[in-house]
Amino acid sequence: MATSTVVNKGYSTAGTVNAFRVLGVPVRLHFTFILLVIFLTVFIFGNASSGAGSGIFLLGGLLSVLLHEFGHAVVAASFGVRTTEIVMFPIGGLSRLDRPLRPVAEICVALAGPLVNLALSAGIFAYIVAGHEAPAIHLEDFANPNGKSVTALLLYGNILLAVFNLLPAFPMDGGRVLRALLRYIRREEEATRIAAWMGRMLAIGMGLYGLVAGQFLLVFFALFVYLGAAQEGVAAYGRMLTHGVPVRAAMITEFRTLEHNHTIRDAANLLLTTSQQDFPVRHAGQIVGLLGRNLLLKALASDGPEVYVAGVMDRQFLCFDPETDLAAVLPQMAHAGRCALVMENDNVSGLITTDNLSEFLMLRRFGLEL
C-alpha cells in the first residue's frame, strides 16, 4: 500500500506478530489482518459455492501485496535506506524505513510498489495470451472468484491495486508522491497534512458511495484509509509542533531511581508514594536498566515481592541525548513504549514518557513556548 517515512529504529509496530523474514526484512501481521484472513478463510471453506479458485485468488492477492511492499524495500535499499519491517494490514502492506527520504528518493520508492503490480499484470497478461482468451471479468466477480478465471482475476486485481495506490492521497503511494512534490514549495509537515487531508476526503467519499451502493466491503476499506490518513495528519502536526525543540524542553527532571539490589516490594512502594511509573535502575552509579509499571506488576504476580529488580528490569531501554530534536523522538517513542531515558555524560538527567509528551504537545498547541 505505502512506504512509511516515519523513522523506526528496529521497534516493531504495536498490535503485530512476527510471521517470517524475506531478504532479512521481518514481515509482521497486524491483528486486524489476521482477523480478516480468518474471516475470509471461514467464508471460503464454509460456503458451498466457493472452491479452490477462491483460495488461490486469496493467496495470489496476498502475494501480490507482499511483492508490492518488497518493491518499495528494494528501491529504498538502492538509496541506502534500510527497511526495518513490513506490516500487513487489511488494506495492504506498510513498509517502514529506518530514516526519512529526500523528495526524489521518496517519489522513486513510492512508485516502485505500483510498478511491481503493473509488471505482474503484464506477466499474467502475456501468460493468458500465450494460452487462451480469458473470459470477461466484472467488478462483482472479485467478491466470488469461484468459476471465474483466477488468472484473469489476478491480472485485473493487480491493475486495480496499482491504480488505487496511485491515487494522490495518504496513505496510498500516490499520496507519498504528492507529499514529495509539495515539499519543494512547502515544509514537510505542511505537505504531509495536505496529502493526509486528501486521504480523509477520499475515504469519506469512498465510504459514502459504499453505503449508498450497498458495498459494505468498500466501507470497511474506507474506514482503514481514513484512520491511516488521520494518523499521518496527527503525526505531521506533532512534528510541526516539535521541530527544532530539544528533548531537554519536554523531559521530566524530578524522578526517583532504584538500585539493582532493591526488591519489587521497594519498587511497589515507590509506585504508590510517587506519581512516577517508570524507574531507572542504578548499579555502581551507572544506569543498567529501566523498570516500568507493567514489568513491576508482572514480576509481582509471577515471582512475588522479594525478587530483585535486577532480574526483571528492561536492559534494552531507549535513551536520548538532551539536545536531540524532539520531532525525531516522537516516532521512536510510539514504537518503544511509554518511557525513555535522557542521558548526558552517562548520567540520567531526565525521563521522557508518552504522557508528558502528550501534555507538552497540548501546551505547544495553545501557543505556550517552553
Neighbours of 333 (CB within 10 A): 19
d(CA 115, CA 163): 10
Please list the residue range(s) of the chain that carry CATH number 3.10.580.10: 247-365
Q: Cell triple for residue 21? A: 523474514
Q: Cell triple for residue 214? A: 450497498
Residue stretches of the chain with pLDDT short of 50: 5-10, 48
pLDDT in tens, 211-224: 888 877 778 778 87
* CB 233, CB 193: distance < 8 Å: yes
pLDDT at residue 142, as a whole number? 52
pLDDT at residue 114, as a whole number? 93
pLDDT at residue 9, as a whole number? 46
Instruction: Work out whether strand 286-292 and strand 16-22 pair parallel, antiparallel, or are unpaired.
Output: unpaired
pLDDT at residue 245, as a whole number? 86
CATH of domain 247-365: 3.10.580.10
pLDDT in tens, 320-343: 888 888 877 877 776 555 788 998
- CA–CA distance from 80 to each of 11, 73, 75, 140 (Å)? 19, 10, 9, 42
Q: What is the CA radius of gyration of the chain?
A: 24
